[in-house]
């Protein structure tokens, strides 16, 4: 069951943050950091794992599973110390080549110069941008060698790539720099785990031979970070983007505003951040992104072929905005700042014109610094804005978004509002029978699937997980993995599914290590659902492929949960260790409804 409203919509009790919520706001979250025990254990293992004999990597050992794999055990390639990365003159392709070199230099210690050539020739590492994809409907000619290998290398599309490994080198080809970038992420996984080391390691840098052709099942594959309940600085967000890019996730949804803090500077309404940004769950200092910070995040993401999706949650989840601008509140009275974890009590006045000035100014400014096509308007849990007041607000806000030139996304509660061109609903239900959403899809909406009981990465893994919630159930890795976005919601055909997203709400998540602990190893499960063809889906294969990633994360200093259902390689003494004992979990600070 989703979180309950702070006060019953039926009783219409006062909306301000009253004393009834204070005890939750006072919860001492610092006492709830026992994830650190498991996290430090992961770090401790790092050195030992670096000494462990490298597990051989097979061509298919990639997450998300590639579409087509043709291993050739006679064609393994060993990277020589004097290798260069060769690439054509396209600036975006050159940048991918540079990023490949940046990835490989620390662990190999090789210089790996990037050499730009008019036409790509051979060599140990070659990135080739193929001719532009032919116009829609014109099939790309299939070339003989792939057909001979039984591989369909037809249109690679905007994100696909092929990767050829022969004894003389690795060639990644794609129609776009994005395809090349995804190919580079695959190559990274095909090298020994020690490639993740930040300092040189003596290793043979062997890539398994063969041919791989790969492209995504769904165009939208994302993760959400809630930076409102707890604020995370730019450096943390950049590191999250790195994690997305590894698994070919191409959207970062930032939940920028909520009751506990407003995190994005808006020049025309400055107090949103100076006043509304100074709080967070548990009473910490909060924080916010300046325009320059946000641009930096967007630029960093773009270089990794990740699109930032900003969310301004409206009309509910707005207590922080109301503390700064009481004129937006239904009673024009500023509520006290809110540092608890309940939902559904706050809203901007849908009957006031001033509210729409605010919405237009905020969405206009955010749109102006967002190069991606999407604006997310929230719309969830506005329990106190009912019926026509709610749908009228959403419809007007949808028009404001259209006026910015962006396409609107909203949580699935906006389904009853009228259709707007291209609109996308983010579905977080826990029951695939949702006729209201199916009807909105019939009227033209598309869906991003974030089923609460499979994709909500703020849910605990198990009863003893030291942080997280359980209102949508416990989500172990298998639960995160075993569902099909193409058939999940009754009456919603696969072609109405834009993709998948794994949200991380942060009421109980306060540090980067905790973000990583909740993301890994479940984020790759969601990534695979978004990228890989259904024919590759299988828990047995997935858990085996995923197992090798623990060593990669440990080597890179990334925290993760040693989920007991994954056969992580034996540790340094060669013995399997039982799952780390975790301290008694605290009572979750979020109501379970």
Active site residues: 381
Site for ligand TNX in 464-503 (CB under 6 A): 469
- Residue 416: CB minimum distance to ligand TNX, A: 16
Single out the residue of 197, 145, 206, 194 nearest to residue 173, CA to CA. Answer: 145
Q: Which is nearer to ligand TNX, 338 or 428 (CB)?
A: 428
Strand 251-255 vs strand 307-314: parallel, antiparallel, or unpaired?
parallel
With binding defined as CB under 6 A, does residue 311 bind ligand TNX?
A: no
- Report the nearest approach of ligand TNX to the CB of residue 446 (Å): 18
380, 476, 501, 516: which one contacts ligand TNX (CB under 6 A)? 380
Nearer to ligand TNX, 15 or 114 (CB): 15
Tokens representing 464? 């003893």
Give yes or no for residue 343 binding ligand TNX (CB under 6 A): yes
Shortest distance, position 212 Cβ to ligand TNX, whole Å: 37
Find the shortest distance in angstroms from Cβ 343 to ligand TNX: 5
Residue 231 near ligand TNX by CB under 6 A: no
User: CA-CA distance, 503 to 461, in Å (whole number)?
Assistant: 15
What is residue 186's three-state secondary structure? helix
Q: 């404001």: which residue's tokens?
A: 400
Q: Measured from the CB atom, is 61 or 380 closer to ligand TNX?
A: 380
Note whether 358 binds ligand TNX by CB under 6 A: no
- Closer residue to ligand TNX (CB): 281 or 497: 281
Site for ligand TNX contains 505 (CB under 6 A): yes
Nearer to ligand TNX, 99 or 341 (CB): 341
591 in contact with ligand TNX (CB under 6 A):
no
Pairing mode, strands 125-129 and 169-174: parallel
- Contact flags string 267-306 toward ligand TNX, x per CB under 6 A: ----------------------------------------
Footprint of ligand TNX on residues 561-590 (CB under 6 A)? 590
Q: Under the criterion CB under 6 A, does residue 381 sit at the interface with ligand TNX?
A: yes
> Cβ closer to ligand TNX: 3 or 124?
3
Asked whether position 3 contacts ligand TNX by CB under 6 A, the answer is yes
Note whether 338 binds ligand TNX by CB under 6 A. Answer: no
- How many angstroms from the chain centroid is the CA of residue 25? 28
Cβ closest to ligand TNX, residue 93 vs residue 455? 455
323 C-beta neighbours (distance < 10 Å), count: 25
418 binds ligand TNX (CB under 6 A): no
Min dist. Cβ of residue 341 to ligand TNX (A): 8
411 contributes a contact to ligand TNX by CB under 6 A: yes
Query: Taking CA 389 as the corner, what is the angle to CA 317 and CA 15, rounded to the nearest 5 degrees?
Result: 40
262 makes contact with ligand TNX (CB under 6 A): no
Q: What length does the chain have?
A: 593
> Which residue lies nearer to ligand TNX by CB, 343 or 513?
343
**Residues in contact with ligand TNX, total (CB under 6 A)?**
13
- Give the start-end residues of each E strand in 385-544: 407-411, 424-427, 446-449, 497-504
Q: How far is the CB of 218 from ligand TNX (least distance, A)?
A: 20
Least distance CB 471 / ligand TNX (angstroms): 6
Nearer to ligand TNX, 325 or 383 (CB): 383
Two tokens, residue 322:
């109301």
Minimum distance of ligand TNX from residue 139's CB (angstroms): 41
User: Taking a C-beta distance cutoff of 8 angstroms, is the pair 77, 165 a contact?
Assistant: yes
Q: Is residue 2 a contact residue for ligand TNX (CB under 6 A)?
A: yes
The residues, ordered by sequence, that sit 6+ positions from 180 with a Cβ below 8 Å of its Cβ are: 93, 96, 97, 127, 129, 161, 172, 173, 174
Query: Smallest distance from the beta carbon of 222 to ligand TNX, in angstroms?
Result: 14
Rounded Cα distance between 352 and 355, Å, is 5
* HSE-up (13 A, CA, CB side) for residue 3: 23
**Near ligand TNX by CB under 6 A: residue from 345, 390, 428, 519:** 428
Please state, in angstroms and rounded to a whole number, the distance separating the CA atoms of residues 395 and 275. 29
Contact present, 21 and 359 (Cβ < 8 Å): no
DSSP string, 476-510: -HHHHHS--TTTSSTT--GGGEEEEEEEE--SS--
Which residue bears the tokens 């019939």? 442
Site string for ligand TNX, 432-461 (x = CB under 6 A): ------------------------x-x---
Cα distance between residue 581 and residue 250, in whole Å: 35
Could you give the CA distance from residue 231 to residue 240 in angstroms, rounded to a whole number? 14
**593/586 Cα distance (integer angstroms):** 18
**Which residue, among 392, 414, 522, has the nearest Cα to 460 in the 3D structure?**
522
By CB atoms closer than 10 A (0-12, 13-18, 19+), residue 361 is: middle
Chain positions contacting ligand TNX, by CB under 6 A: 2-3, 343, 380-381, 411, 428, 456, 458, 469, 505, 507, 590
């Amino acid at each position: 069951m989703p979180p309950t409203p702070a006060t019953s919509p039926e009783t219409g009790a006062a909306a301000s943050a009253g004393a009834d919520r204070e005890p939750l706001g006072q919860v001492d979250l610092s006492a709830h950091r026992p994830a650190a025990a498991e996290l430090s254990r992961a770090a401790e293992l790092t050195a030992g794992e670096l000494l462990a004999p490298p597990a051989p990597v097979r061509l298919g050992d990639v997450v998300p599973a590639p579409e087509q794999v043709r291993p050739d055990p006679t064609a393994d390639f060993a990277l020589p110390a004097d290798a260069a990365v060769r690439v054509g003159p396209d600036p975006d392709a050159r940048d991918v080549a540079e990023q490949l070199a940046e990835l490989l230099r620390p662990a190999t210690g090789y210089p790996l110069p990037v050499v730009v050539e008019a036409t790509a020739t051979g060599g140990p590492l070659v990135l080739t941008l193929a001719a532009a994809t032919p116009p829609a409907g014109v099939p790309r000619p299939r070339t003989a060698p792939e057909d001979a290998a039984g591989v369909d290398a037809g249109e690679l599309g905007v994100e696909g790539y092929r990767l050829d490994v022969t004894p003389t080198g690795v060639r990644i080809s794609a129609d776009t720099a994005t395809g090349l970038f995804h190919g580079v992420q695959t190559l990274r996984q095909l090298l020994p785990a020690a490639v993740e080391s930040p300092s040189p390691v003596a290793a043979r840098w062997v890539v398994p031979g063969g041919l791989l052709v790969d492209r995504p099942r769904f165009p939208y594959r994302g993760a959400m970070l809630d930076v409102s309940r707890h604020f995370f600085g730019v450096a943390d967000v950049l590191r999250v983007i790195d994690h997305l890019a590894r698994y070919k996730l191409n959207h970062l949804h930032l939940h920028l505003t909520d009751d506990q803090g407003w995190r994005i500077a808006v020049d025309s309404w400055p107090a949103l951040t100076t006043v509304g940004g100074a709080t967070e769950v548990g009473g910490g200092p909060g924080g916010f992104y300046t325009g320059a910070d946000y641009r930096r995040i967007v630029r960093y993401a773009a270089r990794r072929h990740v699109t930032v999706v900003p969310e301004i949650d409206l009309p509910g989840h707005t207590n922080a905005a109301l503390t700064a601008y009481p004129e937006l509140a239904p009673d024009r009275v500023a509520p006290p700042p809110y540092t608890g974890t309940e939902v559904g009590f706050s809203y901007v006045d849908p009957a006031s014109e001033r509210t729409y000035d605010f919405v237009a100014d905020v969405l206009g400014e955010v749109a102006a610094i967002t190069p991606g096509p999407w604006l997310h308007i929230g719309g969830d849990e506005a329990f106190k804005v009912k019926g026509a007041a709610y749908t009228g607000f959403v419809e007007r806000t949808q028009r404001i978004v259209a006026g910015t030139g962006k396409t609107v996304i909203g949580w699935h509660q906006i389904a009853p509002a009228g259709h707007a061109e291209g609109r996308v609903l983010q579905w977080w239900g826990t029951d695939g029978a949702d006729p209201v959403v199916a009807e909105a899809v019939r009227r033209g909406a598309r869906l991003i699937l974030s089923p609460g009981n499979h994709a909500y990465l703020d849910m605990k893994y198990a009863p003893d997980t030291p942080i997280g919630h359980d209102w949508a159930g416990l989500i172990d890795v298998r639960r995160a993995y075993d569902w099909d976005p193409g058939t999940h919601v009754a009456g919603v055909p696969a072609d109405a599914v834009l993709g998948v997203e794994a949200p991380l709400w942060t009421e109980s998540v306060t540090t980067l290590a905790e973000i990583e602990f909740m993301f890994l190893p479940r984020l790759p499960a969601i990534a695979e659902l978004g990228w890989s063809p259904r024919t590759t889906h299988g828990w047995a294969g997935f858990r085996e492929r995923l197992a090798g990633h623990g060593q990669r994360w440990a080597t890179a200093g990334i925290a993760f949960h040693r989920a007991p259902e994954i056969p992580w390689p034996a540790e340094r003494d060669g013995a399997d260790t039982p799952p780390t004992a975790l301290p008694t979990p605290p009572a979750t600070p979020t109501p379970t409804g």
